[in-house]
Amino acid sequence: MSIKTVSRALNDAPHVSTDARERVRAAAAKLDYHPNIAAQSLIARRSYLIGLTYERPSPSYVVELQNGALARLEDSRFRLVVLPFRDVANRPTELGRLLVRAGLDGVVLAPPACDQDDLLEMLDRQKLPYARITPHREMARGIVATIDEVAAGHAIAAHLLSIGHRRIGIIMGDPSHAACAARMEGYRRAFAEAGAAIDDHLIVTGDFTYDVGYAVAADLLRRAPQPTAILAQNDDMAVAAMAAVRDRGMAVPADVSVAGFDDSEVSRTAWPQLTTVRQPVSELAWDATDRLIAALETERDGSSKYAASPAPRGDHAHELFVRSSTAPPR
Amino acid sequence: MSIKTVSRALNDAPHVSTDARERVRAAAAKLDYHPNIAAQSLIARRSYLIGLTYERPSPSYVVELQNGALARLEDSRFRLVVLPFRDVANRPTELGRLLVRAGLDGVVLAPPACDQDDLLEMLDRQKLPYARITPHREMARGIVATIDEVAAGHAIAAHLLSIGHRRIGIIMGDPSHAACAARMEGYRRAFAEAGAAIDDHLIVTGDFTYDVGYAVAADLLRRAPQPTAILAQNDDMAVAAMAAVRDRGMAVPADVSVAGFDDSEVSRTAWPQLTTVRQPVSELAWDATDRLIAALETERDGSSKYAASPAPRGDHAHELFVRSSTAPPR
DNA sequence: GCAACGACGGTAAACGTTGTCATAAGCAGG
DNA sequence: CCTGCTTATGACAACGTTTACCGTCGTTGC
């Protein structure tokens, strides 16, 4: 049996009888032979590596992101390389270089990297395909999986307004994430529809982390008139806000209601459980990875000239979860 | 200039003048040329990929693990591939095959994979180097980074006993993790030193997750006499226990004290903050990765015959954090 | 009996880098 | 001038696959 026949058999290529294929399979298993991936990569000009980048998000966000991507990669020959970034905003080219040097076939960009023009520019130049998760600018660029964050922000704010809150404190996320503005825009629309106005005095800025969230929430609670509800732009800061409320001797939701954003795991392990709006991070990551791989496949199948048809934009639905951290003001 | 000179220049090899090296560097930067990693891998018989495996742990544990490994890999040419497992205990060989087929240079095994004899056996056979994080069996096998979990278990139990608790409920983790028995042994010793005995009636078994932790904690609280304190084998289950206590209308720590294990992020974002014992997961992962890479380097440097000196066992210290979730019984 | 086709062997080339080898130029010290 | 060292050069093999081309054999259909 020639070496090519073996190669064909293991790669499900035609021109091999099922009998021969079986024998090859059996022999490979017995000798536990595995084709050398480096050699395959060399000839296929494919590393079979997909990168996943993110920057200092909450643990549950990272894990959901990874799980989504990994779920898609399971049973494929692609492997997932994690590449956390620090400070994408200030050194996009350095990080672009890192991505290119990692020898990836493609990369999934979570916020805020997905909105860094310089980075995208560099990836385009290097012909490194990318998929973007919940970007907020240049929505037509590359593969995009997203939710309508304006609508999601609207949903959560509308909930607080509908149960009677008007003095609502807002904890913004890291301003370098374009998502912040989108969520805020959703809040604004909900206020407008309710015939209310946002009190700029009750807006503070965090960075999506618990610690900073706690500090700015405590600051917020010292202001007069005190808000009857707090709207945080992610769950970690919302949980921090609950702690700040209680540390001032008040109760959630009796004295102050708190709502978050993301429906991350912490929203369910918090007590009381957090009212929040779900961002289907796992599905988004799955979808982004799926379309990225699809793009790689068609690219390889030669028809690269007209395969660059605009990928359908992946819109996913948000979902409001009203739990125990919100109640009407007294 | 010949191609080898370029190769030498980029790899900091000798026999190249500094002048030539500079010119090569400059040209490479201008053309943004990057050596093909697949070709390098092929000839070096090195993929420059390190795997990290874990199984369904809490998000903060995963993230700490990854951060530790990634911190070590930064500025090295190695990249991190994540390979979460499901149900290692029941299909070790299948997962071993997955590791081998991923073409890794080495793999970091977190619990419970680090204690699967069949898996280790297979990795030995395939000559795939591995580092184990907090294993509990065959401690001499492979590279090991660990803490003394018996001592850590002792520390946290001794704290509860020292402030006066005697009726202490215990929430065990997933029995397939050997760590459970070690932590339990630490508890036992602390009880013995305090002249107390563990009430087997107050032991329940979870699986390290919040949901199951909540269920068994609720079960525990229905037993009479009710425990005055709960000792959970990780922080997620401890947080679940706090929720169960409050859902029965009682307060933490006024009515029931709760202590955890790990000092994971959730212990600090919980309210009240959790008394726990720190397991330095990041450092453990850093250390494991570091020694794994060191082993790979010496292996490559030819002297593989006598380089197999027993790596020093990496023992790290635990640390007790007494926070607000524990208080003397009333 | 002949053409078409599928299965398979042989041989060689290709992927992009590094290692080996022989060799030469430039420069110092004897 | 010879010797030894450093720097650089070209030719070539090697890593382990896949692919391309060419050819043989047996089977099937007409």
User: Which bases along strand D come within 7 Å of a protein CB atom?
Assistant: 6-12, 14-21
Among A320, A321, A285, A318, CA closest to A148: A318
CA diameter of chain A: 84
What band does B323 get if pLDDT is binned at 50, 70 and 90?
very high
pLDDT at B305 over 60: no
Residues on chain B touching A100 (C-beta within 8 angstroms): 32, 34
Nucleotide nearest to B4 (CA to C1'): C18
Q: Nearest CA to CA, how far is A330 from chain B (Å)?
A: 22
Q: Answer yes or no: is A16 CB < 7 A from strand C.
A: yes
Nearest CA in chain A to B82: A80
Find the Å distance, CA of residue B14 to C1' of nucleotide C22: 19
What band does B301 get if pLDDT is binned at 50, 70 and 90?
low
Render pLDDT for B82-140 as a digit per residue (tens, 0 to 9): 999 988 888 888 888 899 999 999 999 999 999 999 999 999 999 999 999 999 999 99
Contacts A–B by Cβ distance under 8 A: 105
Q: Do B34 and A100 touch (CB under 8 A)?
A: yes
Q: In whole angstroms, how large is the CA radius of gyration of chain B?
A: 24
Render pLDDT for A314-330 as a digit per residue (tens, 0 to 9): 689 999 999 999 999 98
Instruction: Tell me the three state secondary structure of residue B6.
Output: helix
Residues on chain B touching A243 (C-beta within 8 angstroms): 269, 271
Residues on chain A touching B102 (C-beta within 8 angstroms): 79
Nucleotide nearest to B38 (CA to C1'): C16
Find the Å distance, CA of residue A172 to C1' of nucleotide C9: 69
Strand partners, B50: B80, B106
pLDDT at A58 over 90: no
pLDDT at A306 over 70: no
Render pLDDT for B27-48 as a digit per residue (tens, 0 to 9): 888 888 889 999 999 999 999 9
The residue-averaged pLDDT of A195-210 equals 95
Residues on chain A touching B80 (C-beta within 8 angstroms): 81-82
User: CA B231 from chain center: how many Å?
Assistant: 21
Q: Do B34 and A60 touch (CB under 8 A)?
A: no
Among A197, A239, A180, CA closest to A214: A239
Q: Do A269 and B239 touch (CB under 8 A)?
A: yes
User: CA A33 from chain center: how many Å?
Assistant: 38
Q: Do B66 and A60 touch (CB under 8 A)?
A: no
How confident is the model at residue A221, as a pLDDT? Answer: 97
Two tokens, residue B8: 């030498």
Residue A52 backbone phi and psi in degrees, to 5? -130, 120
Among B228, B207, B229, B225, CA closest to B216: B207
Residues composing chain B: 330
Count Cβ atoms within 10 A of the Cβ of residue A248 and give its class: 0-12 exposed, 13-18 middle, 19 or more buried.
middle
Amino acid symbol at A103: G
Render pLDDT for B175-194 as a digit per residue (tens, 0 to 9): 989 999 999 999 999 999 99
Amino acid symbol at B127: K
What b/e string do you get for A277-290 counting C-beta neighbours within 10 Å, with b at 16 or more?
Answer: bbbbbbbbbbbbbb
Looking at the partner chain, which of A81, A103, A268 has a beta carbon nearest the beta carbon of B81?
Answer: A81
Torsion angle in degrees (nearest 10) through CA of B124, B125, B127, B131: -20
What band does A312 get if pLDDT is binned at 50, 70 and 90?
low
What band does A301 get if pLDDT is binned at 50, 70 and 90?
low
Among B227, B309, B216, B213, CA closest to B270: B213
Find the Å distance, CA of residue A296 to C1' of nucleotide C4: 37
Q: Give helix A59-73 / helix A281-300 axis angle, nearest 10°.
A: 40
Q: Nearest CA to CA, how far is B181 from chain A (Å)?
A: 26
Two tokens, residue B315: 């023992």
What CA–CA distance (Å, rounded) separates B250 from B244? Answer: 9
Strand D nearby residues, CB < 7 A: A 3-4, 6-7, 10-11, 13, 33-36, 39-40, 42-44; B 1-2, 4-5, 14-17, 19-20, 39, 42-43, 45
Residues on chain A touching B126 (C-beta within 8 angstroms): 32
Strand partners, A157: none
Looking at the partner chain, which of B36, B62, B269 has a beta carbon nearest the beta carbon of A266?
Answer: B269
Two tokens, residue A254: 């009796």
How confident is the model at residue A311, as a pLDDT? Answer: 54
Find the Å distance, CA of residue B102 to C1' of nucleotide C25: 48
pLDDT at A105 over 50: yes
Return the DSSP state at A114.
G
User: Which bases along strand C come within 7 Å of a protein CB atom?
Assistant: 6-12, 14-21
Proportion of chain A above pLDDT 70, given as a percent: 95
Nucleotide nearest to A33 (CA to C1'): D16
User: CA B194 from chain center: how many Å?
Assistant: 31
Q: B43 vs A37, B40, B103, B105, B127, CA distance in Å? A: 12, 5, 14, 14, 18
How confident is the model at residue B218, as a pLDDT? Answer: 98
Nearest CA in chain B to A252: B271
What CA–CA distance (Å, rounded) separates B255 from B229? Answer: 8
Which of A79, A250, A263 to probe by mutation at the B interface, max B CB count within 10 Å? A79
pLDDT at B311 over 60: no
How confident is the model at residue B313, as a pLDDT? Answer: 62
Render pLDDT for A74-99 as a digit per residue (tens, 0 to 9): 989 999 999 999 888 888 888 888 99
How confident is the model at residue B304, as a pLDDT? Answer: 43
Give first-to-last CA distance, chain B, whole Å.
83
Looking at the partner chain, which of A42, A62, A243 has a beta carbon nearest the beta carbon of B271?
Answer: A243
How confident is the model at residue B309, as a pLDDT? Answer: 45
The domains found in chain A, sorted by start residue, are 3-35 (no CATH), 43-143+281-316 (3.40.50.2300), 149-279 (3.40.50.2300)
The residue-averaged pLDDT of A24-44 equals 88
Render pLDDT for A144-168 as a digit per residue (tens, 0 to 9): 999 999 999 999 999 999 999 999 9
Amino acid symbol at B27: A
